[in-house]
Amino acid sequence: MDTALTSVGLPLALAVVMFGLGLSLTVRDFARIAREPRAVAVALATQVLLLPAACFALVLALGLDPVLAVGMMLLAASPGGTTANLFSHLFRGDVALNITLTAVNSVLAVLTLPVVVTLAIGWFEPPLGGASVGLQFDKIAQVFAIVLVPVVLGMVVRRLAPAFADRADRPVRVLSAVVLVLVIAGALLAEREDLGTYLADVGVVTTLFCLASLAAGFLLPRLFRVGYRQSVASAFEIGIHNSTLAIAVALTVLGDERLAVPAAVYGVVMFPLAAGVGYVLARRAPAGEPTATAPRSGESPAGQR
């Protein structure tokens, strides 16, 4: 991939996405952990513990190439994507819970993502220049910088200038969507000569992992008697991974384009799969469940970011 895109364009693009996320967050979003501990705890445990374990079992069962296997583990360790709450709103999930889960996941990812990737590199031992021994402190610091710092800056802007944050929210979300498309297209274009091979290699595993993520995100909360709308929100938060972040870490932190392939392919397949699952869940929603999420003070009815 072009050096300027990798070293400058991609980090800036991801910063825009994460800054846009921060514009939609307040400290109150984190307080929801105490108000609805069961829903938050089950979703976070599924995201942080179950998904990496399930992904690990899946790549072992399918005998994935070591580099692509580490790329899948990187994807599994990435937090929920910034479009999860839009899907949740469209299919009658609890959007406020999505916002809380994304906020907490973005913080946890600073710690969990390097751990998962380091363990994956140590297990699969892929031929990665300079990254074969895992993520060192400087690389963990890079993950911290590209994940958390833009989010915090966005939250500060919302705190100091809420009117500006409300006006900027929609343009930044549109820009984030464009960025996501360009990043995925760029990652696939960089490997265009081997694209057919990679699609054959990771098309099945990314599809299975996406369906498993969506299913686990919905079924486990229901198993623990979490409400239907909260379970729908959990399904999208867990099923729609932050492909942009995974690609950015693969290219700018680990420095290997092949590691970005699973996330790029996942970014393509997850949208139609999530839409199909959302359609099924919306049709099966209990009759007594509310069909809209009450907005927070100062937030649009959709709660979109």
80 forms beta bridges with: 241
Q: Number of folded domains in the chain? A: 1
Identify whether 296 is part of a domain: no
Identify whether 288 is part of a domain: no
Identify whether 299 is part of a domain: no
Contact by Cβ (8 Å): 29, 100: yes
Identify whether 242 is part of a domain: yes
The residue behind tokens 């009450």 is 294
Two structure tokens written together for 219: 């079924």
If we measure between CA atoms, which residue out of 122, 157, 57, 120 comes closest to residue 246?
A: 120
Q: Given this model, what pLDDT does residue 4 score? A: 47
Identify whether 292 is part of a domain: no
Two structure tokens written together for 120: 């994956």
Which CATH number characterizes residue 110's domain? 1.20.1530.20
Q: Which amino acid is at 83?
A: T
Classify residue 293 by its DSSP letter. P
If we measure between CA atoms, which residue out of 59, 51, 97, 54 comes closest to residue 77?
A: 51
Identify whether 66 is part of a domain: yes
Alpha-helical segments (H) within 125-194 = 137-160, 162-190
The burial class, CB within 10 Å (0-12 / 13-18 / 19+), for 59 is buried
In 3-state terms, what secondary structure has residue 289? Answer: coil
The residue behind tokens 């699973």 is 262
pTM of the model: 0.72
Q: Give, for all 305 residues of the chain, the pLDDT tens digit.
A: 444 444 555 566 667 767 776 777 777 766 766 777 888 899 999 999 999 999 999 999 998 989 899 999 999 998 876 678 778 867 878 877 877 887 788 778 878 888 898 889 889 887 765 443 344 455 556 556 666 778 788 888 888 888 888 887 777 767 766 765 666 666 566 656 766 777 777 889 999 999 999 999 999 999 999 989 899 999 999 998 878 788 878 877 777 778 888 988 888 788 889 989 988 988 887 765 543 333 444 444 333 33
Quote the domain boundaries for residue 220.
3-280
Q: Is the dihedral of CA 6, 7, 8, 10 positive or negative?
A: positive
φ/ψ of residue 244, rounded to 5: -60, -45
